[in-house]
Structure 1
Amino acid sequence: MLALKHFRDKAAGVSDLLNWAALFEDGIVQCKDGSFLAGWYFQGPDIQSSTDGERDWLAGRVNAALSRLGAGWATWTEAIRTPAASYPPPELSHFPDPISRLVDEERRRQFMREGAHFESRYALLIQYTPPLRRKSKVADLIYDDDPTERQSPADRVLQAFQKAISDFEDAIGDAVRLERMRTYIVTDRHGRDHLRDELVNYLQFALTGEALELNIPPAGAYLDAVLGGRELWAGDTPKLGEQFIACVAIEGFPMESWPQILDALDHLAIPYRWSSRMIYLDQHEMLAELRQFRRKWKQQVRGFVSQIFRTQSGTINEDALLMTREAEAAIAKTSSGLFGAGYYTPVIVLMGADRAELLENGRLAVREVLREGFSARVETINTMEAWLGSLPGHAVPNVRRPLIHTDNLADLLPLASVWTGRDHCPCPYYPEGSPPLAHAATVGGTPFRLNLHQGDVGHTLVFGPTGAGKTTLLCTVAMQALRYAGMRIWSFDYKRGMLATSKAVGGQHYDIAGEHGGPSFCPLSVLESEADLAWAEDWIAACFELQTGRPPQPGERDAIHRAMLLLRQAGSERTMTHFVSQVQDETIRAALRYYTLEGALGRMLDAEHDSISFGRFMVFEMEDLLALKEQAAVPVLLYLFRRFEKSLDGTPSLLMLDEAWTMLGKPAFRDKIHGWLRLLRSKNCAVVMATQSLSDAIRSGIMDVLIESCPTKIFLPNEEAGVTGTPENPGPNDFYRALGLNETQVEIIRTATKKRHYYLVSPEGRRLFDLGLGPVALAFAGATSPDDIARVRDLERIHGRQWPFTWLNEKGVAYEALQ
Structure 2
Amino acid sequence: MLKLSRRPLYEVAPWLTSITPELILNKDGSLLATYEFQGVDADSPDRGSIEASRNQLDSACKSFDNRITAWWKLTHRRAHGYVGGEFAQETDARLDALNKAHVTSGKYFQNAHSLAVAYTPASGLAKFFDKVGHHMTVGGRSVYGSIFEATKDTVFARSAFAFDMEKLSADARRFEAMLDAFTGGVPRLKMRRLVMQDSYAQLHQAANPSVPPRRIRYPVTLLDTHLTESEVTVGAERLLFESAHGKRFAGIVAVKEWLGFQEAALDSLMQIDAELDVCIMFRFLDTASSAAYIEKVRRFYKMAALNVRAILKQYFGKEEAENDEGREELAKEAGVALKRLTADGTQHGFANISIIVYGDTEADCEDSISEVVGALTNAGFGAIREKANLMPAWNSTLPGRWDKQRRLQFVETPAVSDIAPVCSVMPGPTRNNWLSEKAGKEVPPLTCLPTRHKTAQRVDLHQPGGNGHLLVIGPIGAGKSVFLNFLVSQAGRHGARRIRFDKDRSTRIPTLLSGGAFVDVTGKFQAATHANPLSLLGDPTNFTYVTEWVTLALEDERFSLTPQQTQDVFEAVKILSTYESERWTLSNLSTQLHDELRERLQIWLQGGQYGHFFDHAEDAFAVSDNLSIEMGDLFEKYPRAAALFVDYAFYRISQSMDGLRYTIIEVEEAGFFFQHPRFYKRLETWITTIRKLNGAIWMATQSLRQVERIPDFEILKDNIGNLIYLPNSQANTSKDLYKDKFGLTNDQIQMINDAVPNRDYLWITQSQTRMLQSTFSDEMVAMLRSDGVAQSILDRHHASGAADWQKNYVREMLARTA
TM-score by length of 2: 0.87
Which whole-Å CA distance do the structure 2 matches of 1:301 and 1:66 have between them?
A: 35
- Report the counterpart of residue 719 of structure 2 in structure 1: 709
* Residues 228 and 175 of structure 1: CA distance in aligned 2, closer, same or farther (over 3 Å): same
- Report the counterpart of residue 451 of structure 1 in structure 2: 460
- Report the counterpart of residue 20 of structure 1 in structure 2: 15
- 1:654-665 aligned within 5 A: 654-665=664-675
> What's the offset of the Cα at 1:484?
0.6
Q: Which residue identity is paired with 2:351?
A: Y
Q: Which residue identity is paired with 2:240?
A: K
Root mean square deviation, CA, Å: 3.2
* Residues 213 and 316 of structure 1: CA distance in aligned 2, closer, same or farther (over 3 Å): same
Q: 1:80 aligns with which of 69, 75, 79?
A: 75
The superposition leaves residues 415-459 of structure 1 with CA deviations (integer Å, 9 ceiling, x where unpaired) of 111233323324355545322212111235311222222212122
> What's the offset of the Cα at 1:532?
0.4
Is 2:277 the partner of 1:285?
no
- Report the counterpart of residue 160 of structure 2 in structure 1: none
SS in 2 for 1:85: coil
CA contact (8 A) 2:17 2:222 kept: yes
CA contact (8 A) 1:235 1:384 kept: no
SS in 2 for 1:124: strand
Which whole-Å CA distance do the structure 2 matches of 1:223 and 1:733 have between them?
A: 57
> What's the offset of the Cα at 1:138?
2.1
Between Structure 1 and Structure 2, how many residues are aligned? 774
- Report the counterpart of residue 648 of structure 1 in structure 2: 657
Higher mean displacement: 758-767 or 231-240: 231-240
Q: 2:194 aligns with which of 181, 185, 190?
A: 181
Q: Which residue identity is paired with 2:519?
A: Y
Is 2:289 the partner of 1:275?
no
The superposition leaves residues 194-232 of structure 1 with CA deviations (integer Å, 9 ceiling, x where unpaired) of xxx2222211111112223232334xx411122345334
Q: Which residue identity is paired with 1:81?
A: H
- Report the counterpart of residue 406 of structure 2 in structure 1: 399
Is 2:69 the partner of 1:47?
no
CA contact (8 A) 1:567 1:582 kept: no
Which whole-Å CA distance do the structure 2 matches of 1:541 and 1:56 have between them?
A: 55
Which whole-Å CA distance do the structure 2 matches of 1:484 and 1:198 have between them?
A: 32
- 1:181-260 aligned within 5 A: 181-183=194-196, 197-209=197-209, 210=211, 211-218=213-220, 221-236=221-236, 237-241=238-242, 242-260=246-264
> What's the offset of the Cα at 1:514?
3.3
> What's the offset of the Cα at 1:463?
1.7
CA contact (8 A) 2:643 2:672 kept: no
Q: 1:745 aligns with which of 734, 743, 748?
A: 748
CA contact (8 A) 2:522 2:633 kept: yes
- Report the counterpart of residue 792 of structure 1 in structure 2: 794
The superposition leaves residues 250-283 of structure 1 with CA deviations (integer Å, 9 ceiling, x where unpaired) of 2233422232111011232322222111111221
- 1:131-530 aligned within 5 A: 131-132=122-123, 134-139=125-130, 147=138, 152-172=166-186, 174-183=187-196, 197-209=197-209, 210=211, 211-218=213-220, 221-236=221-236, 237-241=238-242, 242-304=246-308, 313-336=320-343, 338-427=345-434, 430-431=438-439, 432-455=441-464, 456-485=466-495, 487-515=496-524, 516-530=526-540
Q: Which residue identity is paired with 1:44?
A: G
Is 2:121 the partner of 1:130?
yes
* Residues 564 and 36 of structure 1: CA distance in aligned 2, closer, same or farther (over 3 Å): same
> What's the offset of the Cα at 1:52?
5.1
CA contact (8 A) 1:419 1:765 kept: no
CA contact (8 A) 2:253 2:369 kept: no
* Residues 592 and 699 of structure 1: CA distance in aligned 2, closer, same or farther (over 3 Å): closer
CA contact (8 A) 1:267 1:446 kept: no
The superposition leaves residues 625-655 of structure 1 with CA deviations (integer Å, 9 ceiling, x where unpaired) of 2445577555434422322332332121223
TM-score by length of 1: 0.87
Which whole-Å CA distance do the structure 2 matches of 1:791 and 1:750 have between them?
A: 36
Is 2:730 the partner of 1:720?
yes
- Report the counterpart of residue 773 of structure 1 in structure 2: 776
* Residues 138 and 504 of structure 1: CA distance in aligned 2, closer, same or farther (over 3 Å): same
Q: Which residue identity is paired with 1:488?
A: R
Which whole-Å CA distance do the structure 2 matches of 1:574 and 1:715 have between them?
A: 47
CA contact (8 A) 2:92 2:489 kept: yes
Q: Structure 2 stretches of 5 or more lacking a match?
A: 1-5, 141-162
Which whole-Å CA distance do the structure 1 matches of 2:563 and 2:352 have between them?
A: 84
SS in 1 for 2:546: helix
Q: Which residue identity is paired with 1:701?
A: P
- 1:531-550 aligned within 5 A: 531-545=541-555
Q: Structure 1 stretches of 5 or more lacking a match?
A: 1-10, 184-196, 724-731
> What's the offset of the Cα at 1:587?
6.6
Which whole-Å CA distance do the structure 2 matches of 1:325 and 1:711 have between them?
A: 57
* Residues 803 and 289 of structure 1: CA distance in aligned 2, closer, same or farther (over 3 Å): same
* Residues 222 and 468 of structure 1: CA distance in aligned 2, closer, same or farther (over 3 Å): same
- Report the counterpart of residue 99 of structure 1 in structure 2: 91
> What's the offset of the Cα at 1:606?
3.5
* Residues 253 and 715 of structure 1: CA distance in aligned 2, closer, same or farther (over 3 Å): farther
> What's the offset of the Cα at 1:553?
7.8
> What's the offset of the Cα at 1:354?
2.5
* Residues 201 and 367 of structure 1: CA distance in aligned 2, closer, same or farther (over 3 Å): same
Q: 1:610 aligns with which of 597, 616, 619?
A: 619
> What's the offset of the Cα at 1:34?
0.6
Which whole-Å CA distance do the structure 1 matches of 2:589 and 2:133 have between them?
A: 105
> What's the offset of the Cα at 1:318?
2.5
Which whole-Å CA distance do the structure 1 matches of 2:133 and 2:219 have between them?
A: 41
* Residues 555 and 415 of structure 1: CA distance in aligned 2, closer, same or farther (over 3 Å): closer
SS in 2 for 1:644: helix
> What's the offset of the Cα at 1:245?
4.0
Which whole-Å CA distance do the structure 1 matches of 2:230 and 2:134 have between them?
A: 48
- Report the counterpart of residue 7 of structure 1 in structure 2: none
SS in 2 for 1:279: strand
Which whole-Å CA distance do the structure 1 matches of 2:387 and 2:323 have between them?
A: 40
The superposition leaves residues 351-393 of structure 1 with CA deviations (integer Å, 9 ceiling, x where unpaired) of 4542332233222222222221212243233221111111111
> What's the offset of the Cα at 1:615?
0.9
- 1:24-43 aligned within 5 A: 24-43=19-38
SS in 2 for 1:121: strand
Query: How many percent of aligned residue pairs carry the same amino acid?
Result: 22
SS in 2 for 1:753: coil
CA contact (8 A) 2:535 2:584 kept: yes
Which whole-Å CA distance do the structure 2 matches of 1:168 and 1:631 have between them?
A: 61
CA contact (8 A) 2:119 2:175 kept: yes
* Residues 20 and 733 of structure 1: CA distance in aligned 2, closer, same or farther (over 3 Å): same
* Residues 784 and 382 of structure 1: CA distance in aligned 2, closer, same or farther (over 3 Å): same
> What's the offset of the Cα at 1:702?
3.0
CA contact (8 A) 2:590 2:601 kept: no
Which whole-Å CA distance do the structure 1 matches of 2:637 and 2:803 have between them?
A: 33
SS in 2 for 1:524: helix
CA contact (8 A) 1:22 1:223 kept: yes
Q: 1:804 aligns with which of 792, 806, 816?
A: 806
Higher mean displacement: 564-573 or 30-39: 564-573
SS in 2 for 1:812: helix
